[in-house]
Amino acid sequence: MPTPVIIDTDPGLDDALALFIACASPELDIIAVTTVAGNIGLWRTTTNALKLLHHLGRDEIPVIAGSAQALRRGAIEAAPIHGEDGLGGADLPLPERRPLATEASEWMARELLRRPSHSVRILALGPLTNVAQLVESRPDAARRLAGIIAMGGAVREAGNVTQFAEFNIAADPEAASIVFGSGIAVTLVPLDVTRKVLADREWNTTLSAKGGKVAQTAQALIEAYLRNFEARVSAKGKNRGALVQPFTPKFPMHDPCVVLRAIEPGLFGAEALALRVVIDRSERDGATVIDSEAGELVEVLTRVDSGRALAAILAKLVALP
């Protein structure tokens, strides 16, 4: 039987690929897509979710908007990476349908209470704001989750928004701390593994050559990231007055690794680690640190078979229409 999942997301280039892969996976029953502010603002992430599902021919999957801001702080966004629209300028039509007229954490609670306990998982691709609101407002419903697989954190590696912090955790560290301490089984998919699953232009050319309409869109999304990354590196070099050495940009499959963990767990190795989220507004704010005394026990992915993971992603994307 397929596993019922709620995909909580802030699309986002890699979010879009993760959604494509999930929709190509009969192992998953996507009961809803909930949206959160993250890579860009909530209106845009919700609009993007509707566009992406329409592009996939999956308009039957409900979309529910969640939180427009972090629990206890202002927003940070990643438009320089994902583009102002979050999808690198991809020209996708907006369907006539609209998000459901309810709030994401309220919808989650009602859905969890009407389904068998421990039957539904959340695949969290963005900041954990919606999930933390569920935990705080409806702990009775949250306890019925089978688990949460979340992209976030940098445990033994440097962050990507600061030296210490990864974007999803840094965007709402209070929410991450609440979710880690909720008693719900959490699997964290950190930069430690996602940075090892890298698509270059050669891989992207293969995707375009082998796939259909959705694969062509995926190829364009990856190329948008590669161009944006090249532009940022070049601009930084010019600002420093330095000569930028030739390099090969690569697309890290951050959010697709969450879906891969749900459908092919054997691709990854994991450790049970006591993690604490730093919440002190210092330079280490948003860091996920191993702390045997004050940390919460989390399953952390620490190893990945990169070649098999990229092959699995390619196979899923080219299987789509």
Q: Which residues are catalytic?
A: 254
Record the tokens describing residue 82, joined without a space. Answer: 């994902």
What are the DSSP E strand ranges found in the chain?
3-9, 28-35, 63-65, 121-124, 147-151, 186-189, 198-199, 251-252, 268-277, 288-290, 296-304
Question: What does the alpha-carbon distance between residue 23 and residue 316 come to, in Å, rounded to a whole number?
Answer: 9
Question: What does the alpha-carbon distance between residue 7 and residue 19 come to, in Å, rounded to a whole number?
Answer: 8
Instruction: Give the C-alpha distances (Å, rounded to integers) separating 293 from 152, 158, 188, 312.
Output: 22, 22, 19, 38
Three-class SS state of 63: strand
CA angle, residues 87, 93, 94, in degrees to nearest 5: 90
Record the tokens describing residue 97, joined without a space. Answer: 């349908």
CA angle, residues 162, 304, 212, in degrees to nearest 5: 95
